[in-house]
Amino acid sequence: MKILLAIDGSEYSEGAAKFLTRLNLSPDDEIAVLHVISEVPFKDDRESYYAKLKQIKQEIAPRILDSAINTLKGIDAKISTALLDGYPDKAIIDAALDSDTDLIVMGSRGLKGIKSFLIGSITRSVAINSPKSVLVIKPPQWKTAGALKILYATDGSTYAAETGRLLTSMPFPEDTEITIVNVIGSAHIDIPERYWMEVNEKIKEEVAKTREIEFGASDKIIEDAREMLRDRFSDIKVSIKFGDPSLEILNEAERLNADIVAVGSSGMRGVKGMLGSVARSILGHSEYSVLIGK
């Protein structure tokens, strides 16, 4: 597997590097450690100031790369470094495309509540616009020990299937635990319970029939996902939930104390590159690391 580890010298990118040491990497795997010196446009009389600032960044950059390399010391993968100038999000995506990277790995704050939106503009931009899969590592997973726990959310779509295939190709340790979750939505979930007494019996019967069909479809989605993962993971659990997908996935991740929440996304560029509502919500609100398969 070819991994692009994008770092900025912060504790969050150091944490992402630490997480990679938990993987079962081999000499066939590659990690390219990339640091981008941010492009700063010169403005009027401040040109001299910005020029000096860029020079300082260039002097610090090798130390940032060395720190990440030191963290990765001891793993079996081939490690290389790259230093680029430019706008970080664009440079990271372009580098991933040029090298045909399988996975971009980045660090993130991962704060709860309203502060969870402070995922970082660069990380968010890469996750949204990159056509390559992205793994965003959040603080709780920096020092976690024991078997890795993955929550794989699937809705049976092509994008979810691609995420499943990505999981089978990643160098996770043999004792990694994976739980497949499918959330059944509801066309009547927005009807308050106190009004259900007014729903006539015929409608209730139709809802019951629909629910039976939905559970059957959910079982099929789960079984297809299990079949895909069976040869790669020995410890596979399943979970079917009912309700709002984003909320139920986040709740299940908390219940499992998952290391990674894996979700699919179209990953197209431009306006179409905007993550689907579920993937966007998971990325912004999950306190656990998030894998977005493209």
pLDDT the model gives residue 40: 61
Report how far residue 238's alpha carbon sits from residue 225's, in angstroms, rounded to the nearest whole number.
10
Per the structure block, which two tokens stand in for 55?
A: 């020079």
Residue ranges, CATH 3.40.50.620, the chain: 1-107, 143-294
Report strand pairing: 260-264 vs 235-242.
unpaired
pLDDT tens for residues 224-255?
A: 999 999 999 999 999 999 888 999 999 999 99
pLDDT-based confidence at 128, cuts 50/70/90? Answer: confident
Per the structure block, which two tokens stand in for 127?
A: 């996750």
pLDDT the model gives residue 196: 59
Per the structure block, which two tokens stand in for 49?
A: 């100031």
Domain 143-294 CATH class label? alpha beta
Q: How many CB atoms lie within 10 A of CB 10?
A: 14
Report how far residue 238's alpha carbon sits from residue 224's, in angstroms, rounded to the nearest whole number.
12
Which residue, 235, 223, 249, is CA-closest to 177? 235
Looking at 170-276, list the stretches that DSSP marks H as alpha helix, in order from N- to C-terminal side.
201-229, 245-256
Report how far residue 146's alpha carbon sits from residue 129's, in angstroms, rounded to the nearest whole number.
33
Which residue, 67, 136, 182, is CA-closest to 290? 136
pLDDT tens for residues 178-194?
A: 999 999 876 555 666 66
Higher pLDDT, 63 or 204: 63
pLDDT the model gives residue 49: 61
Q: What is the chain's mean pLDDT, rounded?
A: 85
**In the predicted structure, residue 172 carries a pLDDT above the cut 80:** yes
pLDDT-based confidence at 269, cuts 50/70/90? Answer: very low
Sign of CA dihedral 254, 258, 259, 261: negative
pLDDT the model gives residue 231: 94
> Which stretch, 120-124, 197-201, 241-245, has highest mean pLDDT?
241-245
**In the predicted structure, residue 116 carries a pLDDT above the cut 70:** no
Report how far residue 289's alpha carbon sits from residue 19's, in angstroms, rounded to the nearest whole number.
10
**In the predicted structure, residue 171 carries a pLDDT above the cut 90:** yes
Report how far residue 222's alpha carbon sits from residue 219's, in angstroms, rounded to the nearest whole number.
5
Residue 250 has phi, psi (to 5 degrees) of -65, -40
pLDDT the model gives residue 273: 44
pLDDT the model gives residue 272: 42
CB 66 within 8 A of CB 208: no
**In the predicted structure, residue 284 carries a pLDDT above the cut 50:** yes
pLDDT the model gives residue 271: 40
**In the predicted structure, residue 44 carries a pLDDT above the cut 60:** no
Where in 97-137 does DSSP place strands (E)? 103-107, 133-137
Average pLDDT over residues 158-184: 95
Helices (H) and strands (E) in the chain, counts: 8, 10
Q: Which CATH number fits domain 1-107: 3.20.20.370, 3.40.50.620, 3.30.465.10, 3.40.50.300?
A: 3.40.50.620
Query: Torsion angle, CA of 280/284/288/292, rounded to 10 degrees?
Result: 30
Q: What is the pTM of this model?
A: 0.84
Ramachandran region of residue 42, left (φ > 0), alpha (ψ -120 to 50) or beta?
A: beta
Average pLDDT over residues 96-121: 74
**In the predicted structure, residue 74 carries a pLDDT above the cut 70:** yes
Higher pLDDT, 79 or 60: 79
pLDDT the model gives residue 75: 92
Report how far residue 143's alpha carbon sits from residue 223's, in angstroms, rounded to the nearest whole number.
33
Report how far residue 40's alpha carbon sits from residue 47's, in angstroms, rounded to the nearest whole number.
10
Higher pLDDT, 112 or 220: 220
pLDDT-based confidence at 38, cuts 50/70/90? Answer: confident
What burial class does residue 109 get, using C-beta atoms within 10 Å of its C-beta: 0-12 exposed, 13-18 middle, 19+ buried? Answer: middle
**In the predicted structure, residue 54 carries a pLDDT above the cut 80:** no
**Bridge partner list, 237:** 179
